Amino acid sequence: MATWLNFNSQDSISPLMEQLTFFHDHTLMILAIIVTMVTYIMISMMVNKYINRYLLEGQTIELIWTMAPAMTLIFIALPSLQLLYLMDEINSPEITIKSIGHQWFWSYELSDFKEIEFDSYMIPENEQTNSSFRLLDVDNRLALPYNAMTRMIVSSTDVIHSWTIPSAGVKIDATPGRLNQTTFYINRSGIHFGQCSEICGTNHSFMPIVVESISPKHFIQWVKSL
């Protein structure tokens, strides 16, 4: 979970988020090299006393400063495209969850097992305990099995919302009259927090998302208890 002193990304809970973190570090490394080179060239040009008032063309240097940025963009674009297709890939999901955004709460449907539907509201501040997470905890958490491919179908009943779990690398818009879908794979247990990432009204900051990843055995027990 992110805190006020956390400047980095949250610890990943899915292979997709791990790849996104690697791509972020890869891109920042390239940008750091570019900034260092440009800074060095600008400083060296300002402090030296060499001038050439009659320079008309320099085909060699023009070729270099055309090819170098092109090669740099290729090194950034190739892993970016690979990640883009990886995010859209849906391979035999083992469980399907439908999430519907409302002003201002989320409702979930698990139609794979039986007609299971429940709403998930943020716990008001006056009802929280010492172990509650302020503005993040909900009354009904969504339980999901880890080590299982999960398909999330998202829609909305009123305005545009966005179902987001940063640690899983999942952010998908909930659009009225439209079904959007994505898949993710959680590889460890824990309680993972998210919030609506689309400004949807006055209480936009008060519709959090809580996913509790548990073992498949405990997930079946949870489904039977509903």
The residue extents of the domains of the chain are 15-88, 95-225
> Residue 30 is encoded by which pair of tokens?
């390239």
Architecture of domain 15-88: Orthogonal Bundle (1.10)
Q: What pLDDT sits at residue 33?
A: 93
List Cα–Cα distances, 88 to 47, 82, 151, 180, in angstroms: 51, 10, 11, 11
Cis peptide before 222 (omega within 30 of 0): no
Please tell me the predicted confidence (pLDDT) of residue 88: 75
Q: What is the pLDDT along the chain (226 residues), one digit of tens a residue?
A: 566 677 777 788 888 888 888 999 999 999 999 999 999 988 988 888 877 767 677 788 888 889 989 999 999 999 898 888 887 777 788 888 999 999 889 999 988 877 788 999 998 888 877 777 888 889 889 999 998 889 999 999 989 999 999 888 889 999 998 999 988 889 888 899 999 998 988 888 899 999 999 998 898 888 888 7
What CATH number matches the domain at 95-225, 2.60.40.420, 2.130.10.10, 1.10.520.20, 3.20.20.10? Answer: 2.60.40.420
Q: What is the pLDDT of residue 2?
A: 65
Cα 148 from Cα 129, distance rounded (Å): 32
Degrees to nearest 5, angle at CA 182 with 181 and 185: 145
* Residues 6 or more apart in contact with residue 193 via CB below 8 angstroms: 1, 133, 136, 165, 208, 209, 210
